[in-house]
Amino acid sequence: MDLDAIFSALSHPIRRAMLEQLAGGDATVSELARPHGVSLPAISRHLRVLEGAGLLKEEPDGRVRRCQIDAAPLSAAFGWLTRYRVLREDRFARLAEHLEETRKKERKEERKHAHNR
């Protein structure tokens, strides 16, 4: 895992927006480009940066290219932040709480979806 490449990939708002979009599910290159008022070559460059950091996988799907997120490098980024205890103990506590909340919400949603099936 190349932390330089990962953090650098996260340092642009368009690339973060792309990851946010992909976190909601796979998307084609044109779906990823749509929200941003920039040229396709610029979009393509951003996708290459994400791919270079291992955050994105692109696969041909008929005539289009489908992109999906690979979250493993983000775990490495989390790992760095936690391993070196750059955050204070109270921040850890608050983060742990926040994560617990998020997990509860996710479980609730999963149950709701299971129920609606």
Residues that bind its own copies (CB under 8 A): 3-8, 10-13, 16, 19-20, 23, 69, 71, 74-75, 77-78, 80-82, 84-89, 91-93, 95-96, 98-100, 102-103, 106-107
- Strand order of the β-sheet with 27-28 is 27-28, 64-69, 56-61
Buried b (16+ CB within 10 A) or exposed e, 51-62: eebbbbeeeeee
Q: Which is nearer to its own copies, 11 or 44 (by Cβ)? A: 11
Q: Which is nearer to its own copies, 40 or 99 (by Cβ)? A: 99
CB 49 within 8 Å of CB 7: no
Q: Which is nearer to its own copies, 63 or 88 (by Cβ)? A: 88
